[in-house]
């Protein structure tokens, strides 16, 4: 099982670098499908989409404090997921991680 994680580690790490990185990681994981990479791609893709959606809502409110709260929570969750991929662990993002695994089943 360790070899399986090692093979998908590059795609898993790439997924955390912006939404474009997630799309690149999806294509990297297309041919030799890897469950570790798929797990982290789903986590990162969901995290990036959530950030974009809340960013759009926050820009409509015009409240600078909501933007700082958004950036702080996004940064904490991003580091949590990114360091999970670096340390070769399948740890889901708190609260939302299991939902990301259910919602993004098209990423395989």
Residue spans per domain, the chain: 2-103
Q: Which residues of 9-34 are buried (b: 16+ CB within 10 A; e: fewer)?
A: bebbbbbbeeeebbebbbebbeeeeb
Specify whether the backbone of 18 is left (phi greater than 0), alpha (psi in -120 to 50) or beta: left
Q: What is the pLDDT along the chain (108 residues), one digit of tens a residue?
A: 455 787 888 899 999 998 999 999 989 888 878 889 999 999 999 999 999 988 887 777 667 777 788 889 999 999 999 999 999 888 888 888 899 889 988 887
Identify the pLDDT of residue 16: 93
Identify the pLDDT of residue 20: 92
Phi, psi of 31 (to 5 degrees): -80, -65
Alpha carbon dihedral 71, 73, 77, 83, in 10-degree steps, equals 70
Identify the pLDDT of residue 6: 79
Asked if 36 and 6 touch (Cβ cutoff 8 Å), the reply is: no
pTM: 0.86
């Amino acid at each position: 099982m360790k070899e399986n994680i090692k093979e998908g580690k590059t795609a898993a790490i790439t997924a955390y670098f912006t939404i474009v990185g997630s799309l690149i990681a999806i294509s990297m994981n297309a041919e030799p499908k890897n469950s570790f990479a798929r797990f982290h791609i789903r986590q990162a893709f969901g995290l990036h989409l959530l950030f974009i959606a809340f960013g759009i809502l926050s820009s409509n409110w015009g409240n600078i404090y909501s933007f700082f709260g958004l950036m702080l929570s996004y940064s904490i969750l991003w580091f949590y997921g990114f360091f999970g991929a670096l340390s070769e662990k399948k740890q889901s993002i708190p609260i939302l991680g299991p939902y990301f695994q259910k919602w993004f089943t098209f990423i395989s």
